[in-house]
Amino acid sequence: MQHPLLVSAQAGDRRALARVISMIEDGRDEAPELLAELYPHTGHTYVIGLTGAPGAGKSTLTSALIGRMRRDDISVGVLAIDPSSPFTGGAILGDRIRMQDHAGDAGVYIRSMGSRGHLGGVAEATPKAIMVLDAIGTPYVIVETVGVGQAEVEIVESADTTVVVLNPGWGDSIQANKAGLLEIGDIFVVNKADRPGVSETVRDLNQMLDLGGERPWRPPVLATVATSGEGIEELWTAIGDHRRFLESSGELDRKRRDRLATEFRRAIMAELAARVETTAGDERFGRAAAEVAERTTDPWTAARRLLDRG
Ligand SMILES: Nc1nc2c(ncn2[C@@H]2O[C@H](COP(=O)(O)OP(=O)(O)OP(=O)(O)O)[C@@H](O)[C@H]2O)c(=O)[nH]1
Ligand SMILES: [Mg+2]
């Protein structure tokens, strides 16, 4: 890589890394060239997604996982997603505090991603931020999202292994089922296992997962206490098991090809949107817009004609 910011980022300069991600996140003009330059260096990072209800303990678990990975000297990038916030808001401050154990560690990079008003928002920016971390040689990226809406589901698609985080309690497994979390989880974690009701929640989840019938990967259900580190070793082992399953079955390759196809579609849309922006000032656009305004042409036909399809 030759771009000075990429060179610096690769050499471990955190500010340069943050700037590269910001430029891409904001959809700046340089973004496509930067991405094209770093792209050949990607394809190596393993992405772990952590999702679950607000306050389930995702950040605390992330912090504990980072600790486990650092014991083996594995570097890790963390993207904490807050789609609801246009800025990096209050919840993220909490995340920073919870993850501050790793603040001075050169092997850990933590970043909050809010939707900064750019076109596709955080769902589009996240896979690209992963690519940046990938290109500079980060072997693992953890993506933390609050599991509620479509944007999160899209972000989960960036993950190789998705960990769904729940809490003990009679409603949580049913809630998870309703929210569609049962379909997306590769591993289920009942965190806050120091509270009552763990075995019931684990049992309920197992029963619901068994309804899914035979399949090559049956998601395991684990219990953890993120605050004390209990169950973290088992979680790390389960992630490794799932990774080996994906690799040996060819599923990892398939996931990655699918993701590239999605990225290609996004690139086309972004390029089209950019062209519309530049066309918006020209004469043909003006004429077509006037026709639409006068109701002599409908908006759909006008749009197709403008893009040379009608
Ligand atoms: N008792 C108990 N508390 C926990 C455990 N794990 C996390 N907590 C606490 O639960 C609260 C929320 O933890 P976070 O890690 O911020 O949860 P989160 O899912 O990241 O929350 P959001 O990012 O706001 O959605 C904090 O006060 C944690 O200290 C646990 O295993 N047991
Ligand atoms: Mg959090």
Query: Strand, coil or helix: what is 171?
Result: coil
Confidence of residue 188 (pLDDT cuts 50, 70, 90): very high
Confidence of residue 91 (pLDDT cuts 50, 70, 90): very low
In this predicted structure, which of 216-220, 222-226, 277-281 has the lowest mean pLDDT? 277-281
Quick one: pLDDT at residue 11?
A: 94
Q: Is the CB of 242 under 6 A from ligand 1?
A: no
Instruction: Please name the residues in contact with 93: beta carbons below 8 A apart, sequence gap of 6 or more.
Output: none
pLDDT of 140 strictly over 60 = yes
More confident residue, 64 or 120: 64
Distance 136 CA to ligand 2 centre (A): 25
Residue 100 in tokens: 């501050």
Instruction: Dump pLDDT digits (tens) for 157-170.
Output: 899 999 999 999 85
pLDDT of 53 strictly over 60 = yes
Q: In what order do the strands lie in the sheet with 140-146?
A: 108-114, 76-82, 140-146, 46-52, 161-166, 187-191, 221-224
Confidence of residue 184 (pLDDT cuts 50, 70, 90): confident
pLDDT of 25 strictly over 70 = yes
Q: Which residue minimizes the CA distance to atom 32 of ligand 1?
A: 192
Number of the ligand 1 atom closest to the C-alpha atom of 60? 15
Q: Is the CB of 57 under 6 A from ligand 1?
A: yes
Q: Is the CB of 91 under 6 A from ligand 1?
A: yes
Mean pLDDT of 162-184: 80
Distance 123 CA to ligand 1 centre (A): 24
Distance 231 CA to ligand 1 centre (A): 15
Quick one: pLDDT at residue 115?
A: 60
Instruction: Dump pLDDT digits (tens) for 68-84.
Output: 999 999 999 999 887 55
Query: Amino acid identity of 60?
Result: T
Most confident of 52-66, 167-181, 236-250, 254-268: 236-250
Q: Which of 50, 51, 59, 225 is the pocket-test mutation for ligand 1 (most atoms within 8 Å of CB)?
A: 59
What does the longest C-alpha to C-alpha distance in the chain come to?
69
Confidence of residue 88 (pLDDT cuts 50, 70, 90): very low
Q: Name the nearest CA neighbour of 236 among 110, 70, 99.
A: 70
Quick one: pLDDT at residue 182?
A: 83
pLDDT of 289 strictly over 70 = yes
Q: Rounded to an integer, what distance in angstroms lies between the CA atom of residue 286 and that of residue 162?
A: 48
Q: Rounded to an integer, what distance in angstroms lies between the CA atom of residue 62 and that of residue 159?
A: 14
pLDDT of 102 strictly over 70 = yes
pLDDT of 270 strictly over 50 = yes
Q: Is the CB of 191 under 6 A from ligand 1?
A: yes
Is 298 buried (19+), middle (13-18) or exposed (0-12) by CB count in 10 A? exposed
Mean pLDDT of 197-219: 91
Mean pLDDT of 53-81: 93
Query: Amino acid identity of 90?
Result: G
Quick one: pLDDT at residue 233?
A: 98
In this predicted structure, which of 21-35, 194-208, 232-246 has the lowest mean pLDDT? 21-35
Distance 64 CA to ligand 2 centre (A): 13
Q: Is the CB of 65 under 6 A from ligand 1?
A: no
Quick one: pLDDT at residue 120?
A: 59
Q: Is the CB of 56 under 6 A from ligand 1?
A: yes
pLDDT of 116 strictly over 80 = no
Distance 225 CA to ligand 1 centre (A): 10
Q: Rounded to an integer, what distance in angstroms lies between the CA atom of residue 128 and that of residue 110?
A: 15
Say how many C-beta atoms besides its own lie within 10 A of residue 161's C-beta: 21
Q: Is the CB of 105 under 6 A from ligand 1?
A: no
Q: Is the CB of 59 under 6 A from ligand 1?
A: yes
Mean pLDDT of 140-149: 83
Distance 54 CA to ligand 1 centre (A): 9
User: What is the overall mean pLDDT for the chain?
Assistant: 87
Quick one: pLDDT at residue 86?
A: 47
Distance 38 CA to ligand 2 centre (A): 29
Number of the ligand 1 atom closest to the C-alpha atom of 82? 23
* CATH assignment of 43-249, among 2.40.160.10, 1.10.287.3240, 3.40.50.300, 3.30.365.10: 3.40.50.300
Query: Strand, coil or helix: what is 48?
Result: strand
Q: Is the CB of 51 under 6 A from ligand 1?
A: no
